[in-house]
Structure 1
Amino acid sequence: MKEVLNLKVLSLAYVLFLEMSVAVPVLTSYGRDSERFTRGVSAADSGVVRIRQLYCRGNGFHLRIDANGTVGGTREDNHPDSIMELFPVVDASLSPFHRPYSGEVRIMGLNTRLHLCINNNTGLLYSSEVSGPECVFQETLEENGYNTYSTNALSDSDSTVQRWYLALGRRGRPRRFNITVDTVTTTAEPDTDSGPSLTAQRRRQNHTVSTMLLRRLLGRRWKLALAGGVIVIVIILIGADVFGERDGKTALHRREDSAKDSKHIRGMKELDDVPPADRRREDLFYVPPEPRLGQLFHMTDKNDTKFTFRQNPNWRNSTCPRSLQRKAFLSEEFGPIFRPDTQMVINSKLFNVDEYWRMKPWATPFGYNYKDNITYEEVRDVLNMFPADDTIFNFKGRSRPQCITCAVIGNGGMLNGSKNGEEIDRHNYIFRVNHALTKGFEEDVGSRTTHYVFYDRSLVGVKADDYPISKDITYIFVPCRKADFSYLKSIAERKNKFAVPPENVRIIHPDWMRYIHYVWMRVKSFRPTTGGIMVMAALNSCDKLSLYGLGYNTKYSHYYYDKKYKAFKPVLGSHDHRKEIKLWDSLDREGITYWYRRDVF
């Protein structure tokens, strides 16, 4: 009974928060009513087409689709890019006067001729030249006289349905907003002559009635604030069960007490938030999905093909209740560019002649263009030598934590004397790069390694005894030159002195390299640093992320394993260290990651 009460209280609090903070675009007229009978955007769409502006009641923005495909908001009334055409989705085989309307519409910019769509997995808005299933919206007339537009994607449960709503934030940017509501199922046969099925009608009716009763009960916004205060008091009185008990103490406890003693413990607050039971949770029946080519999607500029990326159709939202993905998706700065469903790894099942020529125009590592021609056969033969896996995590036969905690360890000199080793080793997965020396430095950098990001130049000057070689390490390789494919071939044939298990090697996809370089880094340098690539791989894969030894400076020696002080000297044109430091700082300040700054940054 107590658990049911807790769930109801939390659900009501969530609805109250959304009611006060989220604005949903609603329909208002644009000039005269411009309704006409016309042919729709496809053979299945025709009927009454309405020309409208979609107005966001909460913040005064009109929905807008720019000529470059960007979806956003504008406060300029009658802006050409804010005028939309709404096409009803009906049966084209019937006459215009006898077509039952199911409430589904397609939205297209009148000026740009681009369709508005929502990604069913992430809830992100985007535009498309071609209409598809993600470009169909459910139009609902609410009791206050406004319209809302949502998807109608069923969840895993037959008793609930999750809807992504068309919404804008207070700065006019697209905002992810969804609600999961109860539905009524019925075995009654639908009346094909009377329009939508009874089940569909009941679902829409339940959602509308529930919303109406809740809004009438709560009334004006001052009542919402009062009700929210009462709920907060009730939650506190209920106790630790709402937040989850851990050793008899609530999650509100440990964070403040630990921060008083040591500044660097601040990073471990996120790790402590993950219950030990979640860290050890296993899925003994886990079967990795077969890699398959996903759809192409565009970001930033639809006219520039370097912003075309391959989607990983096997990607799924994290089930971790405190995943960094949730914070990243809701971030005003990073939400519009956070696409963890971008294909990160390439293998033989994701590569063919068409893919080779699609990525051929861009220079390595962003494609296959190089001064010494890299042929299709070279790439194909190398990929055939390694496993066809499309993830950097190998859960087969291993424990699979519900909340994946990761530590990324750079080689910066500020780790020398930091005594972070024990803290680092507590993470599920630990990423290292280049020399990655741990012997003799365990107290500062830890001893465990689960992922190693490297090039053929990474181990120059390292003794063979210090090579990070283990059957438990996943090796992530980024080809940048023609010779790199020969290097990979020697590893696959076990002829390389760096004798790593070939079955543990993963090769980074050129699309993903373009994604992090042009969308996230936005720099003119040759490529991101190896440490930067490592951070982005973990950011798009883990639920909790801590960064150590990243951000070069002159206060400490270049590397933590230097025997005497060596000043950091940036190589002009190769990497943009300042840009990456700003990125780590922003991610840390938003609470998406933890960045160990020591006394430097």
Structure 2
Amino acid sequence: MLKMRSCSSANRLCAIFTWIYRLLCFRNFKLWFCRLPLLCVCLFLLYWNIPRLTSPEDMDTIYQRSALEAEQSWVETISGEEETVSACSLRHTVKKDNSLRKRFNFLVPLMQWRDSFTPTVWQKLQNASLPYGWKGEADKVIGKTLSLLWHSSTSRLFERNTSHECVRCAVVGNGGILRGSGQGKVIDSHDYVFRVNGAIIKGFEDDVGTKTSFYGFTTNSLKNSLLAYRRDGFKTIPNDPGIRYIVIPAQTRDYVMLAAALQGVPVPSGIDEGDRPSRYFGFNPRIHQFRMIHPHFIQYVTNRFLNSPQMVIYRGFYMPSTGALMLLTALHTCDQVSAYGFMTDNYEDFSDHYYDSEYTPVVHYANHDLKMEGWLWKLLHTHKVMWLYQRQKKTDFTHRQKSAQV
């Protein structure tokens, strides 16, 4: 389709030039004062039509090709081969499926830290703005934050005891499908549990569990969740012992907030100036508690898995949701992944969140493509790369769980 559009544009331009050439050759237009206006028309048509040869779709094709070439350059700079994985790992399933192999690339860097900030990396990330790169960012801001992530543990999501260990992860979204699900104990039985945004636990332990190993957020999603869901019981973000916070660098403010948190000082500048990170992460948080997603990983999963049409229409505004990035992070690090509270085919049967006191429909905003994300989860579930919690029964909103009244 893209080639056909491009060719039709080229054919249209050729027809125009043929028409002009015939006019110029016609005997009544031999005089210079007759040719001059036609030459002006020719120049105008050139100016007007040449940009059309490259339609928005063509430009998007060029962008995708350059992104894949950039991805390949990242992989080529990584030394060594893929790590040895457990016999239960989802990576074996990926390797056996041609379509999955074209999507997954387990060599793409997942986390950014001190040693990932090099002149080469800085140059590679100058072609795209946050969250996909560092274009337009101040190197002092990026460099200062990453210099504080100096310990090698911040380059990995978690440490494996042995290469044969089967690491099971549960990624818990906030979808209304979890209300009345009774999945709490199953969720807590996983080695690691990921949560995002307004992750309310009190009163819903039977449905969502109590364990939190990782909490993923952007500064914007963290603050908005505390503001929007306070009345529902979300007054503080999870602070379980040993918890690790995964920062998604959607804006400059995420780097500034993380640096302030690690230094134990108020935010020095920007939209969050004067804010105290201790309100969210406690006083004197330790370095090993924080991880920061690599911009190139966000670019990679967006291009390979969630390349929505909205990325073209709302370029510079669209990005995968926080939940999607956490689920894709788990799929690139854990051996077995289960997803709870994410989009399913019958999402309209359930409220937006499991803690809604009355039915609230899911709202689709332009910055995320939730339907495409739901399609991806179903695809990966069907191919047995992950397990997606699904059910048919509608949620009863006549009462909250008894524990919520305590």
Aligned mates of 1:302, 1:416 — CA distance in 2? 44
Indicate the residue corresponding to 2:377 in structure 1: 584
Residue-by-residue CA offset, 1:273-303 (whole Å, 9 max, x unaligned): xxxxxxxxxxxxxxxxxxxxxxxxxx97368
Report the 3-state secondary structure (helix = DSSP H, G, I; strand = E; otherwise coil) of the residue aligned with 1:310.
helix
1:409/1:432 contact within 8 Å kept: yes
Aligned mates of 1:393, 1:429 — CA distance in 2? 10
Displacement after TM superposition at 1:530 (Å): 0.7
Aligned mates of 1:413, 1:579 — CA distance in 2? 18
Aligned mates of 1:492, 1:550 — CA distance in 2? 32
Indicate the residue corresponding to 2:254 in structure 1: 484
Aligned mates of 1:456, 1:400 — CA distance in 2? 34
1:445 corresponds to which of 208, 211, 225 = 208
Report the 3-state secondary structure (helix = DSSP H, G, I; strand = E; otherwise coil) of the residue aligned with 2:171.
strand
2:236/2:280 contact within 8 Å kept: no
**Paired residues, number:** 297
Q: TM-score, length-normalised on structure 2? A: 0.68
Aligned mates of 1:313, 1:413 — CA distance in 2? 44
Give the % identical residues. 26
Q: Which residue identity does 2:156 align to in structure 1?
A: T
Q: Which residue identity does 1:513 align to in structure 2?
A: I
1:522 aligns with 2:288: no
- Structure 1: unaligned runs, 5 residues or longer: 1-298
By percentage of residues, which structure has more strand?
1
Indicate the residue corresponding to 2:336 in structure 1: 544
Displacement after TM superposition at 1:357 (Å): 2.1
Residue-by-residue CA offset, 1:205-251 (whole Å, 9 max, x unaligned): xxxxxxxxxxxxxxxxxxxxxxxxxxxxxxxxxxxxxxxxxxxxxxx
Report the 3-state secondary structure (helix = DSSP H, G, I; strand = E; otherwise coil) of the residue aligned with 2:292.
strand
Aligned mates of 1:511, 1:556 — CA distance in 2? 34
1:365 aligns with 2:135: no
Aligned mates of 2:140, 2:209 — CA distance in 1? 42
Indicate the residue corresponding to 1:564 in structure 2: 358
Cα distance change, pair 494–530 in 1 and its aligned pair in 2 (3 A): same
Aligned mates of 2:64, 2:86 — CA distance in 1? 29
Aligned mates of 1:411, 1:376 — CA distance in 2? 36
Q: How does 1:76-475 map to 2 (within 5 A)?
A: 301=65, 305-308=69-72, 310-311=74-75, 312-313=78-79, 316-369=82-135, 373-386=136-149, 387-388=151-152, 389-395=154-160, 402-457=165-220, 458=222, 459-461=225-227, 462=230, 466-475=236-245
Aligned mates of 2:105, 2:173 — CA distance in 1? 24
Displacement after TM superposition at 1:518 (Å): 0.6
Cα distance change, pair 302–349 in 1 and its aligned pair in 2 (3 A): same
Residue-by-residue CA offset, 1:504-527 (whole Å, 9 max, x unaligned): 111111111111001121223311
Aligned mates of 1:344, 1:530 — CA distance in 2? 15
Indicate the residue corresponding to 2:11 in structure 1: none
2:292 corresponds to which of 493, 497, 507 = 507
Q: Which residue identity does 2:90 align to in structure 1?
A: L
Consecutive aligned runs of 4 or more in structure 1 exceeding 3 Å deviation: 299-309, 311-319, 398-401, 462-466
Displacement after TM superposition at 1:465 (Å): 5.4
Aligned mates of 1:507, 1:443 — CA distance in 2? 31
Indicate the residue corresponding to 1:228 in structure 2: none
Cα distance change, pair 513–343 in 1 and its aligned pair in 2 (3 A): same
Cα distance change, pair 478–534 in 1 and its aligned pair in 2 (3 A): same
1:532 corresponds to which of 324, 342, 357 = 324
Cα distance change, pair 401–336 in 1 and its aligned pair in 2 (3 A): same
By percentage of residues, which structure has more helix?
2
- Structure 2: unaligned runs, 5 residues or longer: 1-62, 266-276, 312-317, 395-406
Displacement after TM superposition at 1:595 (Å): 0.5
Cα distance change, pair 309–505 in 1 and its aligned pair in 2 (3 A): farther
Displacement after TM superposition at 1:347 (Å): 0.8
Aligned mates of 2:163, 2:200 — CA distance in 1? 27
Aligned mates of 1:575, 1:309 — CA distance in 2? 28
Q: Which has the higher contact order (CA 8 A, sep 6+)?
A: 2
Report the 3-state secondary structure (helix = DSSP H, G, I; strand = E; otherwise coil) of the residue aligned with 1:559.
coil
Report the 3-state secondary structure (helix = DSSP H, G, I; strand = E; otherwise coil) of the residue aligned with 2:85.
coil
